[in-house]
Amino acid sequence: MRIGELAERTGTARRLLRYYEEQGLIKPTRAPNGYREYDESTVDRVVQIKGLLGAGLPTRIIKQILPCLDDPRGIQFDRATQETLELLERERESMTGRIQCLTRNRDAIGEYLEAVRAATEARRSRR
């Protein structure tokens, strides 16, 4: 399939797919006319990449762990290097910090909304 079809099937912009290629996350073949050609498995790979990006992993880490995720039935533990494990450990710690920050911000927004609603209700009651 060509890049347009891959973009449509994965909901990913063509430009982003070319970026994934530049980063070594996906590898198309080239047709004689120079067009990129993707096989069916690239659809799943792009969905997987988007999920990992959505989880907060940077592309440099995704590139290292993708070979460990080649088998859709499970993680290939024998492919994980010590460097990859250490990188993932640091990334997990960073995610934990971001989660804590997001939680604090969510709670602060919730308190703000409660205060605004209470003040609005109090003004209505006085009328």
Residue 18 sits at the vertex; the CA angle it makes with 11 and 75, to the nearest 5 degrees, is: 70
The gap from C-alpha 42 to its chain's centroid, in whole angstroms, comes to 16
pLDDT in tens, 29-80: 999 998 999 999 999 999 999 988 988 888 988 988 887 777 655 556 666 7
Model pTM score: 0.65
Helix (H, G, I), strand (E, B) or coil at 66: helix
pLDDT score, position 57:
86
